[in-house]
Amino acid sequence: MIKHFTCVICPIGCEIDVEENGDKVISMKGNKCARGKEFVIQELKEPMRVLTTTVRIKGAEFNMLPVRTDKPIPKRLIPITMEDLAKIEVNAHVKMYKVIVKNIAGTKVNIIATRSM
């Protein structure tokens, strides 16, 4: 089976075609560097993403605080993570990079503030 990927690791955005058979990569074409190969192998194994979103905040000028994961999490856990974050409300006077939630969805990844409010 042939799968097509657009690498997002660097600005080049290589178009990569991979022929695979089960868990085995038969061939790969289009990657201009080793990072593209690593990206595709990770995508085949377990797609990972940095999640950027917001949580509610009380006592601030705005009612939503921008947050993100401090490392990529498995893409399959994003819906669960979003459900957990929908239940969160923090109090104002949050500093940028403050940990809002530790070990979200059991991933050992933290949710951090991306703005002071």
Give the Cα separation of 35 and 1 in Å (integer): 22
pLDDT at 1: 87
Q: Which whole number is the average pLDDT over 76-100?
A: 97
pLDDT at 19: 95
Domain shared by 24 and 41, yes or no: yes
Four-residue CA torsion sign, 92, 96, 101, 104: positive
Share of the chain above pLDDT 90, in %: 92
Could you list the residue range(s) of the whole structural domain that residue 86 is in? Answer: 52-113
Each residue's pLDDT tens digit, 3-52: 999 999 999 999 999 999 887 899 999 999 999 999 999 999 999 999 99
CATH number of the domain encompassing residue 65: 3.10.530.10
Domain shared by 56 and 108, yes or no: yes
- Is residue 102 within 8 A of residue 81, CB to CB? The reply is no
Domain shared by 69 and 109, yes or no: yes
The tokens of 20 are what? 């695979």
How many domains are contained in the chain? 2
Domain shared by 61 and 109, yes or no: yes
Q: Which whole number is the average pLDDT over 81-105?
A: 97
Q: E strands of 30-98, at which residues?
A: 48-49, 52-58, 64-69, 73-74, 89-91
